[in-house]
């Protein structure tokens, strides 16, 4: 559907290097990356606002690299909505349809349909400036979708919204994608958003695609340390594989032994990746299926709203993420002796 | 309380400069009406005065239209594109503001005179010296910076992403410009055109060098002042200022009404 081949572009402080992507028909593809990674630039290249220095973009087996944006049939939604402030909501939505030379009745019908789908028909006579952020973003979505684009490009569409509106609109995006079956490329730095919406994720870091995969692959099996760190794997510990029996590897870390499900063989130097939410804390050693269990001392506790990040020194540093309720129930305090456990299957090994 | 004292002081200082402008003009108009009303009536019946006022407005309008046609595209390019030498171009745009207007007149005369760089090849088609085209080029020279700078600010205030979105919706560059960018920058362009027009109407120094005749109003006022003194020139000045103020206030009101749509 969308094929990006060897795309290169330098623009101001951003640069994209050898981007290769193959986005499938009807797919919801999320480009996930930190600020400054070049995500928006990539999206704007796909839309045709800029030309690549090198490389090609193909849509449906047609090379569109040199086509202007108006001939690419793509819907585009910016983070800050970019509604036309001198037009009403209705005129904004009709803008693309009026350029298509379709009949007035057809236009009314399609505008109404999209208004009903997004529940914004009652806003049509209003000026965009009088709308809330969430309403504005719905209008921007409606304006992009109503022209029935072959691709929908979303540039951090939820980032400017408050938390509650963001949740609602995220749900809305999923619904629209299901109903309209539009191939969607969504750019964001928000992992929750990516996990919730994406069929597949491409991680963009420093202008390069570091990894492409399903949300499960990206979050549980990041390809390298940079991706692991970015997707919230807070425990990345170096060690050496000292045994491997039936696919369960024993890894030596500073004299401690961790068991992990892996195919690495004896002698391999590896990094143990473990998400903090996969670590459980208890005061006593219980019988459990968790293969890894270490005695340690709490060295730091950082409250993060409903969750608390607990740093434990087990001879190696270990980050655990526990709910505030658990902290209160167990009476966890800095300096406490504690048992930290995690399953062999929660571990992902990288080189 | 402290900053309110500051505000009071600022208001007083502001009033001083406003009084300076208003007093000067009002005093001239009121003096004319109270001391020599019949002189004003006689001047208002003088067809030569009206011809010169009309010529002033007409040539200023032509200059503004030309400034608009060539200045708006330049303003758009300056607002949207970064390129090597942009600072130089912006400097050139501002040059007419800093050049003394008599100097501008001499320069224009050199270029558009019968033996000038442009004047000579066009000599058999257009005559600039002591002719209407000469007045227009002089006005154009001194007034374009106002239109270009204001229009550029207007275009800069329109987020280029609006154009991007319009284009994904199927609009060509042209259509995105006249449906989105130009309407959103319109107030700035209009204000620039009004300022440009006002500057053209008030031009004397450059015009008088290249085209003493036919006489625009400022030249006529100067001529009457030199030949017959204050009492002969003042009523013409009063008439011109009344006409100009009427036009200026009307246009500003139009531009002001649209302000709500923009910001």
Contacts of B161 in chain A (CB under 8 A): 78, 80, 82
B16 assigned to some structural domain: no
A213: which strand partners?
A201
What average pLDDT does this structure show over A48-67? 92
Residue of B nearest to A99 (CA): B170
pLDDT at B174 exceeding the cut of 70: yes
Residue of A nearest to B162 (CA): A82
Contacts of B170 in chain A (CB under 8 A): 70, 96, 99-100, 147
What average pLDDT does this structure show over A224-246? 87
B230 assigned to some structural domain: yes
Confidence category of residue B18, pLDDT binned at 50, 70, 90: very high
| Chain-chain contact of A49 with B180 (C-beta, under 8 angstroms) | no
- Counting the structural domains of chain B, the total is 1
Chain B contact for A143 (CB, 8 A cutoff)? yes
Contacts of B178 in chain A (CB under 8 A): none
- Give the closest of B165, B170, B261 to A99, CB-based: B170
For residue B230, what is the enclosing H or E element? Answer: helix B230-257
Residues A27 and A138 in one domain: yes
| Chain-chain contact of A82 with B161 (C-beta, under 8 angstroms) | yes
Confidence category of residue B137, pLDDT binned at 50, 70, 90: very high
Q: pLDDT higher for B135 or A291?
A: B135
Residues A224 and A289 in one domain: no
Residues A331 and A345 in one domain: yes
pLDDT at B259 exceeding the cut of 50: no
What average pLDDT does this structure show over A283-299? 87
For tokens 């740093």, name the residue: A311
- Give the closest of A68, A84, A100 to B167, CB-based: A68
B39 assigned to some structural domain: no
What average pLDDT does this structure show over A248-263? 89
Contacts of A96 in chain B (CB under 8 A): 169-170
Residue B223's CATH number:
1.10.3720.10
Structure confidence at residue A287 (pLDDT)? 81
Instruction: Judge contact between A217 and A209, C-beta under 8 A.
Output: no
Residue B225 domain boundaries: 45-262
A200: which strand partners?
A29
For tokens 């053209």, name the residue: B200
The number of helices, as runs of H, and strands, as runs of E, in chain B is: 13, 0
Residues A306 and A221 in one domain: no
Residue A338's CATH number:
2.40.50.100
Chain B contact for A70 (CB, 8 A cutoff)? yes
| Chain-chain contact of B162 with A82 (C-beta, under 8 angstroms) | yes
Instruction: Judge contact between B244 and B199, C-beta under 8 A.
Output: no
A47, A48, A82: best to mutate for the B interface, most B CBs within 10 A: A82
Residues A12 and A96 in one domain: yes
pLDDT at B262 exceeding the cut of 60: no
The answer to whether the Cα torsion of A97, A98, A99, A105 is positive or negative is positive
Structure confidence at residue B260 (pLDDT)? 46
Residue A139: CB atoms within 10 A of its CB come to 26
pLDDT at B263 exceeding the cut of 80: no
Last residue of a domain, one of A229, A244, A279: A229
Residues A171 and A264 in one domain: no
What is the bridge-based pairing of β-strands A348-350 and A54-59? unpaired
What average pLDDT does this structure show over B74-97? 94
Structure confidence at residue A165 (pLDDT)? 87
Residue B132: CB atoms within 10 A of its CB come to 17
Portion of chain B with pLDDT greater than 90, in percent: 86
What is the number of CB-based contacts under 8 A between chain A and chain B?
Answer: 63
B239 assigned to some structural domain: yes
Residues A220 and A238 in one domain: no
Structure confidence at residue A222 (pLDDT)? 86
- Give the closest of B165, B172, B175 to A78, CB-based: B165
How much is the mean pLDDT over chain B? 92
| Chain-chain contact of A100 with B170 (C-beta, under 8 angstroms) | yes
What average pLDDT does this structure show over A319-347? 90
- DSSP letters spanning B207-229: HHHH--SSPPHHHHHHHHHHHH-
What average pLDDT does this structure show over B172-194? 94
- DSSP letters spanning B13-26: HHHHHHHHHHHHHH
Residues A262 and A326 in one domain: yes
Residue A296 domain boundaries: 233-350
Instruction: Judge contact between A235 and A251, C-beta under 8 A.
Output: no
- Give the closest of B159, B164, B184 to A86, CB-based: B184
Residue of A nearest to B161 (CA): A82
The CA angle A19-A21-A23, to the nearest 5 degrees, is 155
Structure confidence at residue A73 (pLDDT)? 86
Residue of A nearest to B259 (CA): A86
For tokens 């400036």, name the residue: A129
Last residue of a domain, one of A180, A202, A229: A229
Q: Which residues of B touch A (CB under 8 A)?
A: 159, 161-162, 164-173, 175, 179-180, 183-184, 261-262
B60 assigned to some structural domain: yes
Residues A91 and A23 in one domain: yes
Chain B contact for A76 (CB, 8 A cutoff)? yes
Residue B173, min C-alpha distance to chain A (Å):
9
B82 assigned to some structural domain: yes
For the stretch A68-118, pLDDT in tens is 999 998 999 999 999 999 999 999 999 999 988 888 899 999 999 999 988
Q: Cβ contacts of residue A342 below 8 Å, gap of 6+?
A: A274, A278, A279, A280, A290, A292
Distances, alpha carbon A265 to alpha carbons A220, A238, A346, A350, B221, in Å: 20, 15, 19, 12, 101
- Counting the structural domains of chain A, the total is 2
Structure confidence at residue A12 (pLDDT)? 80
Instruction: Judge contact between A176 and A145, C-beta under 8 A.
Output: yes
Residue A63's CATH number:
3.40.50.300
Residue of B nearest to A152 (CA): B168
Residues A219 and A252 in one domain: no
CA distance A238 to A273: 9
For the stretch A116-158, pLDDT in tens is 988 899 999 999 999 999 999 999 999 999 999 999 999 999 9
Structure confidence at residue B92 (pLDDT)? 96
- Reported ipTM exceeds the 0.90 cut: no
Backbone dihedral angles phi then psi of residue A252, each to the nearest 5 degrees? -90, 120
Residue B168, min C-alpha distance to chain A (Å):
5
Chain B contact for A62 (CB, 8 A cutoff)? no
- Give the closest of B159, B170, B184 to A147, CB-based: B170
Residue of B nearest to A92 (CA): B166
Residues A237 and A225 in one domain: no
Distances, alpha carbon B183 to alpha carbons A274, B18, B87, in Å: 56, 33, 27
Helix axes A133-145, A104-118, angle to 10 degrees: 140
B208 assigned to some structural domain: yes
Q: pLDDT higher for A96 or A192?
A: A96
Residue B180, min C-alpha distance to chain A (Å):
7
Residues A82 and A219 in one domain: yes
Structure confidence at residue B173 (pLDDT)? 93
How much is the mean pLDDT over chain A? 90
Confidence category of residue B258, pLDDT binned at 50, 70, 90: low
B106 assigned to some structural domain: yes
The CA angle B219-B24-B44, to the nearest 5 degrees, is 50
Last residue of a domain, one of A177, A198, A229: A229
Portion of chain A with pLDDT greater than 70, in percent: 100
Instruction: Judge contact between A32 and A204, C-beta under 8 A.
Output: yes
A256: which strand partners?
A253
For chain B, give percent helix, strand, coil, nearest 5: 80, 0, 20
């Amino acid at each position: 559907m969308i094929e990006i081949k060897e795309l290169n572009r330098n623009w101001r402080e951003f640069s994209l290097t050898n981007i290769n992507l193959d986005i499938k028909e009807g797919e919801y593809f999320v480009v996930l990356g930190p600020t400054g990674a070049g995500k928006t630039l990539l999206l704007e290249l796909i839309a045709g606002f800029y030309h690549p220095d090198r490389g090609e973009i193909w849509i449906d087996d047609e090379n569109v690299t040199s086509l202007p944006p108006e001939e690419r049939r793509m819907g585009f939604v910016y983070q800050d909505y970019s509604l036309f402030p001198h037009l009403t909501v209705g005129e904004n939505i009709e803008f693309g349809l009026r350029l298509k030379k379709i009949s007035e009745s057809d236009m009314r019908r399609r505008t109404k349909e999209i208004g009903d789908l997004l529940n914004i028909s009652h806003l049509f006579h209003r000026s965009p400036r009088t709308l809330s952020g969430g309403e504005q973003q719905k209008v921007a979505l409606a304006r992009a979708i109503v022209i029935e684009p072959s691709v929908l490009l979303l540039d951090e569409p939820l980032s400017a919204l408050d938390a509650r509106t963001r949740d609602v609109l995220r749900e809305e995006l999923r619904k629209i994608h299901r109903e309209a079956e539009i191939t969607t490329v969504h750019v964001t730095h928000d992992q929750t958003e990516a996990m919730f919406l994406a069929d597949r994720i491409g991680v963009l870091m420093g202008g390069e695609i570091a990894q492409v995969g399903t949300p499960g692959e990206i979050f549980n099996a990041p390809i390298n340390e940079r991706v692991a760190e970015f997707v919230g794997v807070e425990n990345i510990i170096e060690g050496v594989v000292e045994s491997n029996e039936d696919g369960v590897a024993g890894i030596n870390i500073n004299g401690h032994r961790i068991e992990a499900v892996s195919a690495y063989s004896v002698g391999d130097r590896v990094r143990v990746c473990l998400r903090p939410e996969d670590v459980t804390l208890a005061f006593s050693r219980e019988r459990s299926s968790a293969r890894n269990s270490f005695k340690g001392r709490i060295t730091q506790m950082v409250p993060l709203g409903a969750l608390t990040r607990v740093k434990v020194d087990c001879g190696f540093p270990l980050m655990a993420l526990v709910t505030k309720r658990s902290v209160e129930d167990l009476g966890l305090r800095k300096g406490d002796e504690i048992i930290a456990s995690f399953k062999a299957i929660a571990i992902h090994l990288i080189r | 309380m402290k900053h309110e004292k500051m505000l009071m002081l600022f208001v007083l200082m502001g009033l001083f400069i406003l009084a300076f402008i208003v007093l000067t003009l009002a005093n001239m108009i009121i003096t004319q009406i109270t001391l020599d009303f019949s002189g004003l009536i006689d001047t208002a019946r003088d067809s030569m005065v009206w011809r010169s006022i009309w010529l002033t407005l007409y040539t200023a309008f032509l200059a503004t239209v030309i400034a608009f046609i060539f200045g708006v595209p330049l303003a758009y390019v300056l607002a949207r594109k970064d390129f090597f030498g942009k600072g130089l171009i912006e400097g050139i745009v501002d040059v007419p503001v800093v050049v003394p207007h008599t100097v501008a007149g001499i320069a224009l005369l050199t270029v558009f005179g019968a033996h000038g760089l442009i004047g000579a090849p066009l000599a058999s088609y257009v005559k600039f010296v002591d002719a209407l085209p000469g007045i227009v080029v002089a006005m154009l020279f001194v007034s374009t910076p106002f239109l270009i700078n204001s229009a550029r600010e207007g275009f800069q205030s329109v987020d280029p992403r609006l154009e991007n979105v319009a284009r994904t919706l199927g609009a060509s560059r042209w259509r995105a410009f006249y449906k989105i960018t130009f309407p959103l920058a319109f107030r700035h362009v209009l204000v620039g055109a009004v300022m440009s027009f006002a500057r053209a109407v008030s031009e004397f120094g450059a015009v008088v060098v290249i085209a003493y005749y036919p006489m625009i109003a400022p030249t006529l006022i100067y001529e009457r002042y030199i030949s017959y003194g204050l009492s002969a020139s003042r009523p013409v000045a009063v008439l011109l200022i009344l006409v100009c103020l009427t036009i200026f206030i009307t246009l500003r009101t139009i531009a002001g009404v649209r302000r709500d749509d923009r910001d």
